[in-house]
């Protein structure tokens, strides 16, 4: 080997390490470039999977639905796990906007949806702490997550993919809403959609709900210290919840104040002064407090039946109702302390006969003690208030109440062949002999009405009850005409039935909701009366005349029910005085009053429909009627009466009867005259008409409800019930 070759090899051996280093750096640089290009390609491919905002429907965040009385007073909110009440930007103070930007996205007004400086800063912080303490998400990216993607994963590859997609969509969103106005739109949307924490199992979403939950005030009234506290909650609502961790909440609030000072939103002096203040949080019942709980639940159930539970809870509906708070107050005042015993309950329902609007639905029970709505859900025996169903059955057939007469007498077991154990007597076991239907109504004579029911046919009486508005299933038993029902009826049903008479025969469906307004401004008008003509107004006017007379002279207790204006009504008392009623109406209002025990069938000795219920009805209706004091209108279709002779009635000479809705009885003489037919009427027939060979009725349903003694006059010098009497005014000879 020559000398030159040996020198060349020595130079190569000396330069070897440098060469290796350069080669290594070159390989690393090339790898970095390739990896970077691969990473960029991966980011681009992930971003490409982000959906287009133009085709992406916003997530329904829901909103809390509110219920309102007829005068616009809020009754309460329908409860849900999420509380949210969106508000316009004009109702969000600048201090909450500034505090939110300062703590969540300090470069919000400069970036285009993605803050690359913020991403680097967050990455360095996370590397330093080895935890994901900062995410680098802008307000726009968070809004995209809340409104469009709903993705919650935060760690690993999936977390990176989520952020990439959010960044792409955030840029798209800012392009759709550009400039300063676009930024304000995004900020307002964010403040209405971000969760602020959970209290009492309900999460406040949006600044309005947060202001109510934590400070019991609307967002528009938030002060600086309150705005700073709320702005600090979304990053960790549980950790900073001021009710659960006040010290951490205080530190977080003060950090927000300092950031606001550092970024020039407030002065340092203002920040220091505000830091020295307490949290000022206050528990609130704004979303949980309700008025008129029983009616509220009634409305809620109607809404659920129509729209479904989720729409009602989260639909952001405004529900306007028919309830009149003035009448509600008057109803409770009339019941308060007037029930005669502390363990008794009462309920009042009032319906507008012209529309079917439920104007009052009140109970003496406290909603907190029981959620059971006695006014709408309580099914009780109606007593003699159900005699009106028999009377209306007769009148719709043209039966003349003045000339049609029956003999008031005891009806022993066996008088009705299809109900061999059915025995009927009057309340005080006294009988007037031959009386017409008008007097029988004023006396509330069980024996006369039992015979009339048998002659008309229980099927027809049942149909009349349905046509008037009764919803509960009836069985067409003979005793139903005296109020002997298997399931009973509610005060709501009875008020609705009597409202049909007051309206001149127009049967209205009871309405509790007038309209439902949706967040987009769409309105469902539910207040249009839903009605049909069930009876001629001549028929209802004839019944009204008799029931007006009943209030003046009959078992309606004239002194108790006198309201200074035309009114009509009927008492009702059940067996052993377990339930007592008064149901009556004016031309403008129909009201049912029930009295009894909410949780039992305990007796109320001495209490009849003509005592406490009549008094409550009178006191309430004096207020409820308002300034209107007009009389019932004359009918357009005249009532054309005709004599009626059934098997159990007889003509004035006492000869056998000849006419029955189902035909002529064996041994009867003379032609069948009957009465004119009306829409919805049933003929009765031989099955339930009281003739032999028909259906055998369960005997346990035939107990005759007791009734108060009849009334003719009040003894001189006495303004109320005579001593020793439980109902009505002393009849002649007593």
> Which pLDDT score is estimated for 150?
72
Rounded distance, CA 492 to CA 328, Å? Answer: 15
Q: Does residue 254 fall inside a structural domain? A: yes
Q: Does residue 452 fall inside a structural domain? A: yes
Rounded distance, CA 719 to CA 710, Å? Answer: 17
Reply yes or no on whether the pLDDT at 671 is more than 50. no
> Which pLDDT score is estimated for 11?
55
Identify the residue whose tokens are 């005259």: 673
Q: Does residue 258 fall inside a structural domain? A: yes
Dihedral of CA 260/266/267/273: which sign? Answer: negative
DSSP H helices, 444-533, are 446-456, 458-468, 491-502
Number of domains in the chain: 2
Q: Which of 330-334, 649-653, 704-708 has the lowest mean pLDDT?
A: 704-708
As a dihedral over the C-alpha atoms of residue 523, residue 510, residue 357, residue 590, rounded to 10 degrees, the angle is 180
Dihedral of CA 384/386/388/390: which sign? Answer: negative
Mean pLDDT of 49-74: 85
pLDDT band per the 50, 70, 90 thresholds, residue 507: very high
Mean pLDDT of 134-155: 77
- Pair (221, 108) in one structural domain: yes
Among 651, 670, 691, the domain-final residue is 651
pLDDT band per the 50, 70, 90 thresholds, residue 169: confident
Residue 637 is part of a domain; what is its CATH number?
3.40.710.10
- Pair (235, 380) in one structural domain: no
As a dihedral over the C-alpha atoms of residue 645, residue 650, residue 654, residue 655, rounded to 10 degrees, the angle is 50
- Pair (476, 572) in one structural domain: yes
pLDDT digits (tens, 9 = 90+) for 357-402: 999 999 998 887 888 999 999 999 999 999 999 999 999 999 999 9
> Which pLDDT score is estimated for 54?
72
Mean pLDDT of 565-593: 96
Reply yes or no on whether the pLDDT at 241 is more than 60. yes
**Residue 275: which H helix or E strand, with range?**
helix 268-275
pLDDT digits (tens, 9 = 90+) for 335-348: 999 999 999 999 99
- Pair (131, 241) in one structural domain: yes
Q: Does residue 644 fall inside a structural domain? A: yes
**Residue 349: which H helix or E strand, with range?**
strand 345-351
Q: Does residue 310 fall inside a structural domain? A: no
> Which pLDDT score is estimated for 562?
87
Mean pLDDT of 675-686: 31
Reply yes or no on whether the pLDDT at 37 is more than 90. no
> Which pLDDT score is estimated for 640?
93
> Which pLDDT score is estimated for 607?
94
Structure tokens, 180 = 């300063």
Quote the domain boundaries for residue 132: 80-275
pLDDT band per the 50, 70, 90 thresholds, residue 699: very low
- Pair (238, 355) in one structural domain: no
Identify the residue whose tokens are 């979403």: 205
- Pair (269, 356) in one structural domain: no
- Pair (525, 646) in one structural domain: yes
Reply yes or no on whether the pLDDT at 157 is more than 70. no
Reply yes or no on whether the pLDDT at 724 is more than 70. no
pLDDT digits (tens, 9 = 90+) for 625-668: 999 999 999 999 999 998 888 899 864 433 333 333 333 222 22
Region at 733 (left for phi over 0; alpha for psi -120 to 50; beta for the rest): left
Is this model's pTM higher than 0.75 or not? yes
> Which pLDDT score is estimated for 717?
31
Mean pLDDT of 117-126: 55
Proportion of the chain above pLDDT 70, given as a percent: 76
For all residues of the chain together, what is the average pLDDT? 82
- Pair (371, 234) in one structural domain: no
Reply yes or no on whether the pLDDT at 534 is more than 60. yes
> Which pLDDT score is estimated for 731?
28
Q: Which of 20-34, 491-505, 614-628 has the lowest mean pLDDT?
A: 20-34
> Which pLDDT score is estimated for 708?
40
- Pair (522, 622) in one structural domain: yes
Cα-Cα end-to-end distance for the chain: 157
Rounded distance, CA 222 to CA 244, Å? Answer: 21
Among 275, 308, 324, the domain-final residue is 275
> Which pLDDT score is estimated for 102?
97
Reply yes or no on whether the pLDDT at 84 is more than 60. yes
- Pair (229, 357) in one structural domain: no
Rounded distance, CA 293 to CA 372, Å? Answer: 10
Reply yes or no on whether the pLDDT at 12 is more than 80. no
- Pair (269, 400) in one structural domain: no
Please list, residue by residue across 584-594, b when 16 or more beta carbons sit within 10 angstroms of its beta carbon and e when fewer do: bbbbbbbbbbb
> Which pLDDT score is estimated for 155?
53
Q: Which of 12-16, 72-76, 398-402 has the lowest mean pLDDT?
A: 12-16
pLDDT digits (tens, 9 = 90+) for 512-530: 999 999 999 999 999 999 9
SS3 of residue 290 by DSSP: coil
Residue 88 is part of a domain; what is its CATH number?
1.10.3810.10
Give one DSSP letter per residue of 140-152, joined into a string: HHHHHIIIII---
> Which pLDDT score is estimated for 25?
56
Q: Does residue 599 fall inside a structural domain? A: yes
> Which pLDDT score is estimated for 247?
97
> Which pLDDT score is estimated for 53?
73
- Pair (372, 257) in one structural domain: no
pLDDT digits (tens, 9 = 90+) for 544-568: 999 999 998 876 566 788 899 999 9
Mean pLDDT of 405-410: 94
Q: Does residue 267 fall inside a structural domain? A: yes
Q: Does residue 725 fall inside a structural domain? A: no
Among 215, 242, 275, the domain-final residue is 275
């Amino acid at each position: 080997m020559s000398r030159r070759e040996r020198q060349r090899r020595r130079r190569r051996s000396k330069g070897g390490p440098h060469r290796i280093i350069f080669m290594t750096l070159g390989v690393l640089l090339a790898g970095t470039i390739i990896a970077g290009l691969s990473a960029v390609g991966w980011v681009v491919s992930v971003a490409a999977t982000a959906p287009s905002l133009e085709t992406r429907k916003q997530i329904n965040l829901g909103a809390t639905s509110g219920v309102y009385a007829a005068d616009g007073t809020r009754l309460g909110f329908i409860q849900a796990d999420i509380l949210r009440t969106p508000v316009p930007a004009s109702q969000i103070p600048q201090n909450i906007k500034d505090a939110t930007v300062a703590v969540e996205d300090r470069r919000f007004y400069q970036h285009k949806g993605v803050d690359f400086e913020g991403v680097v800063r967050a990455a360095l912080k996370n590397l330093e702490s080895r935890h994901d303490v900062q995410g680098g998400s802008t307000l726009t990216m968070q809004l995209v997550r809340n409104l469009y993607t709903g993705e919650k994963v935060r760690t690993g590859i999936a977390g990176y993919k989520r952020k990439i997609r959010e960044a792409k969509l955030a840029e798209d969103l800012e392009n759709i809403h550009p400039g300063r106005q676009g930024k304000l739109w995004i900020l307002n949307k964010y403040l209405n959609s971000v969760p602020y924490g959970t209290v009492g199992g309900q999460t406040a979403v949006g600044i309005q709900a947060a202001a109510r939950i934590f400070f019991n005030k609307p967002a528009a009234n938030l002060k600086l210290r309150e705005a700073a506290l709320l702005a600090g909650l979304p990053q960790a609502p549980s950790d900073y919840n001021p009710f659960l961790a006040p010290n951490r909440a205080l530190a977080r609030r003060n950090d927000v104040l300092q950031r606001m000072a550092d970024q020039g939103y407030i002065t340092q002096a203002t920040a220091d002064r505000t830091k020295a203040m307490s949290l000022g949080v206050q528990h609130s019942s704004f979303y949980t407090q309700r008025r008129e709980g029983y009616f509220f639940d009634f409305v809620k159930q109607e809404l659920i039946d129509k729209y479904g539970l989720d729409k009602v809870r989260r639909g952001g509906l405004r529900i306007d109702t028919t309830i009149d708070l003035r009448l509600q107050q008057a109803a409770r005042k009339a019941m308060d302390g007037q029930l005669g015993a502390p363990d008794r309950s009462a309920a009042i329902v009032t319906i507008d006969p012209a529309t079917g609007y439920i104007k009052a639905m009140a109970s003496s029970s406290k909603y907190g003690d029981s959620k059971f709505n006695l006014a709408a859900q309580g099914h009780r025996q109606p007593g003699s208030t159900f005699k009106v169903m028999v009377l209306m059955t007769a009148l719709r057939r043209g039966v003349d109440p003045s000339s049609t007469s029956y003999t008031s007498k005891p009806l022993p077991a066996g008088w009705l062949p299809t109900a061999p154990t059915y025995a009927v007597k009057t309340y005080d076991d006294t009988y007037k002999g031959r009386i017409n239907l008008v007097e029988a109504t004023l006396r509330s004579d069980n024996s006369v009405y039992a015979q009339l029911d048998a002659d008309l046919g229980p099927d027809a009486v049942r149909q009349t009850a349905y046509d008037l508005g009764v919803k509960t299933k009836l069985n067409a038993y003979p005793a139903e005409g005296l109020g002997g029902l298997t399931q009973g009826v509610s005060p709501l049903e009875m008020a609705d039935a009597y409202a049909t008479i007051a309206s001149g025969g127009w049967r209205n469906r009871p309405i509790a909701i007038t309209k439902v307004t949706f967040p987009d401004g769409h309105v469902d008008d539910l207040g249009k009366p839903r009605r049909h003509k069930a009876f001629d107004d001549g028929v209802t006017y004839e019944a009204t005349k008799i029931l007006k007379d009943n209030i003046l002279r009959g078992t309606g207790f004239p002194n108790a029910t006198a309201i200074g204006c035309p009114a009509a009504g009927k008492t009702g008392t059940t067996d052993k005085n377990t339930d007592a009623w008064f149901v009556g109406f004016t031309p403008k209002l129909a009201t049912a009053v029930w009295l009894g025990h909410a949780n039992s069938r305990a007796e109320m000795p001495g209490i009849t429909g003509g005592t406490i219920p009549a008094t409550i009805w009178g006191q309430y209706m004096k207020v409820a009627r308002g300034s209107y004091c007009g009389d019932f209108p004359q009918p357009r279709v005249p009532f054309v009466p005709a004599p009626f002779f059934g098997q159990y009635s007889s003509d004035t000479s006492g000869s056998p009867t000849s006419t029955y809705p189902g035909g002529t009885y064996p041994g009867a003489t003379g032609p069948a005259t009957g009465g004119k037919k009306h829409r919805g009427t049933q003929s009765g027939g031989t099955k339930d008409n009281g003739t032999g060979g028909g259906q055998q009725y369960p005997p346990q349903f035939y107990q005759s409800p007791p009734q108060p003694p009849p009334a003719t006059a009040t003894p001189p010098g006495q303004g109320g019930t005579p001593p020793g009497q439980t109902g009505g005014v002393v009849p002649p000879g007593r």
